[in-house]
Amino acid sequence: MTDEESSDRSFAEQATNQAVEAAVSRLTEILQQKALTGEGISVGHGVVELTEIDPTDTELPSASEFNRATNRSPIVFHHHHYSRDGDLISEPPVTFESIVDETPRSISVTVTDSSQEYVAILPVMCERGWIQNS
């Protein structure tokens, strides 16, 4: 990001974006420690709208649970891979339900600079899907 782009964003927006990057790394560590990694499972980030999250055994998340200045948040991906003909090429070594059960609902990251501190509390979304060769 250039200095000009940086100055167009508030400290809270910049801190949220930095927190998302740190949260991705931390979630990757958590999943590795719990042996929930492998082909078809990855941790990334993207735009997460709370209305897109399906409830599991808990109630729907509300904005009051979180503190973020942008809609970016970490996402744990669980994907099956299919050939062009629809044959399964690979699948994750663990179930989607295992990922959901062991992934925290939110993650907190503190970002500081020389004069400010921002505590981001980010929702964590688990996404199930598939990829098919074209």
Specify the 3-state DSSP secondary structure of 22. helix
DSSP string, 88-100: EEE--SS-HHHHH
- Other C-beta atoms within 10 Å of 98: how many? 16
What percentage of the chain carries pLDDT values higher than 70? 92
Residue 93 has pLDDT above 80, yes or no: yes
Average pLDDT over residues 24-37: 96
Using pLDDT thresholds of 50, 70 and 90, give the confidence band for residue 63.
confident
Tokens of 70: 């942008």
Nearest to 18 by CA among 75, 86, 69, 85: 69
Burial of 99 (0-12, 13-18, 19+ CB in 10 A): buried
Question: Averaged over 19-47, what is the pLDDT?
Answer: 96
Measure Cα distances from 103 to 4, 71, 99, 123 in Å: 37, 19, 6, 11
- Please work out, in degrees rounded to the nearest 5, the angle formed at the alpha carbon of residue 17 by the alpha carbons of 45 and 124: 40
**Residue 52 pLDDT:** 78
pLDDT greater than 70 at residue 80? yes
Annotated domain spans of the chain: 3-132
Instruction: Name the band, by pLDDT with cuts 50, 70 and 90, for residue 1.
Output: very low
Task: Give the model's confidence band at 9: pLDDT under 50 very low, under 70 low, under 90 confident, else very high.
Answer: confident
